[in-house]
């Protein structure tokens, strides 16, 4: 079975991305944080089974995101399964993160979207079943 291991993302501010991820995914930890001499910074953050490889832009002039999500070719959002959507939502709101829409209730779970401080969208999903065919059933 194929499964997700990592995604490599260039972010405008690694510290801002880390702050969001450490609150949105409480089981995540920083695995490595390195800046090689005369190079850019990169960090791996995740848990035992998956991680995000975050890196800074190679040039400060490219750190502004000018794309239009859902219109330009790029990643629109990344979804993460979480254990306690309600607590994570309250924590992120208290920290000043912007919620995008209301919680969407589905047959076997709920989902919610947030923007990090750089404007990147993250989808948080909480399932009420371990049965994968129920989680990913696209019919009513």
For residue 137, the SS3 value is coil
Domain total in the chain: 1
Is 68 part of a structural domain of the chain? no
Is 65 part of a structural domain of the chain? no
Is 17 part of a structural domain of the chain? yes
Q: What would the DSSP string read from start to end of 8-23?
A: EEE-S-HHHHHHHHHH
Is 95 part of a structural domain of the chain? yes
- CATH value at residue 87: 3.10.180.10
Is 98 part of a structural domain of the chain? yes
pLDDT in tens, 37-58: 878 899 999 999 999 999 988 7
Is 82 part of a structural domain of the chain? yes
Residue 49, Cβ density class (10 Å: 0-12 exposed, 13-18 middle, ≥19 buried): exposed
Is 16 part of a structural domain of the chain? yes
Residue 38: which domain range?
6-58+75-135
Is 63 part of a structural domain of the chain? no
Q: What's the predicted TM-score (pTM) here?
A: 0.85
pLDDT in tens, 7-47: 999 888 899 999 999 999 999 999 999 998 878 899 999 99
């Amino acid at each position: 079975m194929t499964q997700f291991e990592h995604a490599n993302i260039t972010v405008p501010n690694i510290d801002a991305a880390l702050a969001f991820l450490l609150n949105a995914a409480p089981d995540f930890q920083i695995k490595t944080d390195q800046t090689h001499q005369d190079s850019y910074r990169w960090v791996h953050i995740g848990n035992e089974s998956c991680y995000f490889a975050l890196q800074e832009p190679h040039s400060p002039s490219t750190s502004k995101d000018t794309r239009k999500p859902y219109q330009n070719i790029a990643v629109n959002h990344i979804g993460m399964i979480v254990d306690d959507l309600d607590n994570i939502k309250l924590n992120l709101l208290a920290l000043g993160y912007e919620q995008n829409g209301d919680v969407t209730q589905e047959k076997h779970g709920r989902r919610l979207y947030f923007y990090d401080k750089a404007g990147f969208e993250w989808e948080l999903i909480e399932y009420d079943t371990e049965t994968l065919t129920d989680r990913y059933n696209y019919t009513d």
